[in-house]
Amino acid sequence: MRLLLLGATGQVGHELRCALAPLGDVIAATRSGLLADGTACLRADLADAASLAQALATAQADVIVNAAAYTAVDRAEDEPELAERINHRALGEIGAWAAHHGARVVHYATDYVFDGSATRPYREDDPTAPLGVYGRTKLAGEDALRASGAAHLIFRTAWVCAAHGHNFLRTMLRLAAERDELRVVADQVGAPTPARWIAEVTAAAIRRWGTDGGTRRVAAVSHPTGALTSGDAQALDLAGTYHLVAGGQCSWYDFAAAIVHGAAARGLLARAPRVLPITSADYPTRARRPAYSVLDCTKLKNAFGLESPDWRVGLDEVLDELAANVGEGNTISTQPSP
Residue 41: phi, psi to the nearest 5?
-145, -175
- CA 5/CA 17 separation, integer angstroms: 8
- CA 203/CA 195 separation, integer angstroms: 12
Q: Are 141 and 109 in contact (CB under 8 A)?
A: yes
Residue 108 is among the residues annotated as catalytic for this protein: no
Cα-Cα end-to-end distance for the chain: 27
β-bridge partners, 193 = 160
Backbone Cα Rg of the chain: 20
Q: Which of 112, 134, 253, 292 is catalytic?
A: 134
Query: For the chain, how are helix, strand and coil distributed in percent, rounded to 5?
Result: 45, 20, 40
Distance of CA 307 to the CA centre of its chain: 16
Angle between helix 90-101 and 49-59 (nearest 10): 30
Q: Are 8 and 164 in contact (CB under 8 A)?
A: no
Looking only at the bridges linking them, the beta strands covering 250-251 and 151-157 are unpaired
Residues annotated catalytic, as ranges:
134
